């Protein structure tokens, strides 16, 4: 059978020192003498020693891992954020645990258990649509300092947050369409109750009015981030009395589904109507027509979130920490928008 892997004791024996010295050599090399340092290093090599994290975690009361909580694992929007988080975490020797809110809820698992049972040192939540009950549990938890929201957030609750410039993005979208010559601009919103939906919609409305444009009520189409909502929105657009010449969708997925449905009904984008999205997911570039969108740097969002959380975990008392990071967005112009016909 497999020989047990070696422990600090083994290394200590081989090097002829105490376990304390070995431990120190590993975690704080400059407090031991040059000679023991090399002796220990050699012993580590010959024994093939690997630290036992369970033991370390128990002793140090740290899990050296972070939980990332998604609304839905199967949604590609999040993967790049994960990449960013993971990159930053692994730099610092942390691992990344993943769970989806849906699942956690279904299995009756308590979210806080991750923190309470020493499985994770902190959590990054990518879901602003958490149950209010859950949110208030989080707020009252002992570990509030170690919870952070990214991308989405919960209005009213004050957790530190990393988010992109949603307002700015929506305004740029409107400006882009305006500068192409559009004066009748519609908006397909995200899901009711979602913070991003509200932020983007409000900014959209504000910018429309700032430009002095008309905004018919039917030009605000209620949707959500799903594919089917995009199809429904397209039908709503088709049924309009007075159709807008441009449509700003609250997400790329929505925009693509919107365009797809339109095309099934014989409309062409951008000839018949300009359509743009939000997010700039990988696929936007590949879509036909290539999608004009507002780009979120998802890698950066992930990295920033991880960074911020680690800071709070590793030095919990550094007070003046800015609890909000805002990541800039940028307009990416492609083929789905053009001057009105």
Partner DNA sequence: TGAGCTTCTGCAATCGATTACATTAATTCT
Partner DNA sequence: AGAATTAATGTAATCGATTGCAGAAGCTCA
In the complex, the residues that contact its own copies under the rule CB under 8 A are 2-3, 5, 50-55, 57-58, 61, 63, 65, 72-76, 78-80, 82-83, 86-87, 90-91, 95-100, 103-104, 107, 109, 113-114, 116-119, 142-143, 227, 256-257, 259-260, 263, 282-283, 285-288, 290
288 binds DNA (CB under 7 A): no
- Identify the residue whose tokens are 């993971």: 86
Residues 6+ apart with CB under 8 A from 117: none
Euclidean distance between CA atoms 47 and 12, whole angstroms: 10
Under the binding rule (CB under 7 A), the answer on residue 48 touching DNA is: no
- Among residues 13, 41, 56, 290, which is the contact residue for DNA, using CB under 7 A? 56
- Hey, what long-range contacts does 204-207 have (CB within 8 A, 24 or more apart)? 204/170, 204/171, 204/173, 204/174, 204/248, 206/167, 206/171, 207/170, 207/171, 207/174, 207/175
Helix (H) or strand (E) holding 69: strand 65-70
109 binds, among its own copies, DNA, none (CB under 5 to 8 A by kind): its own copies
Shortest distance in whole angstroms from residue 178 CB to its own copies: 27
Candidate list 1, 3, 61, 318; residue touching DNA; CB under 7 A = 61
As measured in angstroms, the least distance from the Cβ of 73 to its own copies is 4
Asked if 9 is part of the footprint of DNA (rule: CB under 7 A), the reply reads yes
d(CA 316, CA 117): 19
Give dist(CA 204, CA 244) in Å, integer: 15
Residue 25 CB, nearest distance to DNA (Å)? 8
State the binding partner of 17 from DNA, its own copies, none, CB within 5 to 8 A by kind: DNA
* 224 vs 230: CA distance, rounded Å: 8
Note the residues at the interface with DNA (CB under 7 A): 4, 7-9, 16-21, 23-24, 26-27, 31-33, 35-36, 49, 51-52, 55-56, 58-61
């Amino acid at each position: 059978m497999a020989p047990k892997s070696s422990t600090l004791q083994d290394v200590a024996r081989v090097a002829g020192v105490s376990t304390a010295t070995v431990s120190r050599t590993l975690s704080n090399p400059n407090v031991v003498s040059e000679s023991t340092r090399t002796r220990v290093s050699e012993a580590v090599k010959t024994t093939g020693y690997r630290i036992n994290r369970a033991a370390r975690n128990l002793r140090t009361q740290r899990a050296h891992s972070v939980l990332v909580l998604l609304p839905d694992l199967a949604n590609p929007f999040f993967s790049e954020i994960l990449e960013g988080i993971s990159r930053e975490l692994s730099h610092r020797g942390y691992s990344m645990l993943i769970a989806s809110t849906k699942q956690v809820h279904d299995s009756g698992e308590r979210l806080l258990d991750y923190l309470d049972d020493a499985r994770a040192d902190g959590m990054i939540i990518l879901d602003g649509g958490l149950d209010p009950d859950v949110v208030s549990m989080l707020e009252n938890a002992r570990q509030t300092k170690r919870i952070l929201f990214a991308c989405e957030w919960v209005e009213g609750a004050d957790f530190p947050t990393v988010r992109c410039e949603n307002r700015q993005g929506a305004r740029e979208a409107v400006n882009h369409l305006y500068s192409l010559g559009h004066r009748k601009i519609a908006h397909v919103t995200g899901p009711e109750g979602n913070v991003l939906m509200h932020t983007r919609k409000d900014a959209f409305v504000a910018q429309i009015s700032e430009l002095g444009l008309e905004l018919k009520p039917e030009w605000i189409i209620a949707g959500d981030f799903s594919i089917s909502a995009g199809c429904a929105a397209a039908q709503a657009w088709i049924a309009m009395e007075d159709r807008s010449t441009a449509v700003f969708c609250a997400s790329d997925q929505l925009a693509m589904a919107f365009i797809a449905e339109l095309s099934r009904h014989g409309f062409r984008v951008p000839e018949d109507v300009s359509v743009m999205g939000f997010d700039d997911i990988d696929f936007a570039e590949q879509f036909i027509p290539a999608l004009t969108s507002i780009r979120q740097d998802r890698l950066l969002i992930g990295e920033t979130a991880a960074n911020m959380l680690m800071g709070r975990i590793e030095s919990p008392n550094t007070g003046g920490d800015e609890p909000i990071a805002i990541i800039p967005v940028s307009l990416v112009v492609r083929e789905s928008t053009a001057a009105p016909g």
